[in-house]
Amino acid sequence: MRKHFTLLIIIFISLQIIPQSKIEWFPSGLNIQPFTANFLEPKTGFSYLISESNLRLDIGTSADVLKIKDEDKISSLGVDLFTYTRLRSESNFKFPVETTDFYFGLNYAQKYFNDANEYGFRFRFAHISTHLVDGSYDIQSKIWRNGRLPFVYSRDFFELLPFYKKNGFRVYAGITYLFHTVPTNIGKGIYQFGFDKYFTNFPSSIITPFVAYDFKLSKLDKYIGNNIVSAGIKFGKYDKKGFRIELNYYSGKSVHGQLFDINENYFALGFNMDL
């Protein structure tokens, strides 16, 4: 407790040293916009898994709590809170909830800029847990669907994601270190790279086509790659809040913790609000 109190005092004193004109509490917008094809990003919307007859509902937010501005640099400290839920599509407009995942954590971001260039990094410390829900339970037969029983699944991790951006094109590469996992046979390291490209020379200033790609290499008994390819249209300024209609292709292990050992391959039509 004494160590935590001392750390808070150090942080408070450090903030007082910085000229107050450079500090902004609870600013609007995000210092670094979410990486478009990266799955673990805050978004609010849904995706229809075309070949699977399933839906995914995403409800999430990320907010910068503190922003510090310099002439050529912006630093920020923020929080992330979101869920991603898998639903099954049935007749009569019914969508039983099968599984849901919870993500919450902190992030620190640093961005440098000059002319049309930006570069920097985002560091995150986060926790994920996941649960089977009643839509996975067959009340008539009193068994769990597909023979999958609920179990404890959680991940605690650090993530470092450096990036470089120029004229609507952003490339990134980074690493995630899982310092605690259940089950324990999940590899400690996840290696990642990707890009997003927004075509800012499109005639309309509020309609921007985009393409994006994300690759993650992780280990579950052996190394396996997860791929996400995304293409669509964003309504609103490309690097600000807006609305996206997109077609996504996914291949690799399931994004849902309760299904972590299942291989999936599908197209999904998505509708998402950008923060």
Task: Please determine, for residue 11, whether its predicted confidence score (pLDDT) is greater than 60.
Answer: no
pLDDT at 72: 87
Residues 13, 11: Cα–Cα separation, whole Å: 6
Residue partners of 114: CB distance under 8 A and separation at least 6: 72
Q: Quick one: pLDDT band at residue 56, thresholds 50, 70, 90? A: very high
Of 137, 44, 133, 122, which is closest to residue 83 (Cα–Cα)? 44
The per-residue pLDDT for range 62-114, each reduced to its tens digit, is 999 999 998 889 999 999 999 999 998 777 777 889 999 999 999 999 999 88
Average pLDDT, the chain: 88
pLDDT at 9: 52
What domains does the chain contain, in order, with CATH numbers? 23-274 (2.40.230.10)
pTM over 0.95: no
Question: What helix, strand, coil percent values describe the chain, rounded to 5?
Answer: 10, 60, 30
Task: Please determine, for residue 19, whether its predicted confidence score (pLDDT) is greater than 90.
Answer: no
Residue partners of 150: CB distance under 8 A and separation at least 6: 131, 132, 144, 258
pLDDT at 158: 96
pLDDT at 2: 54
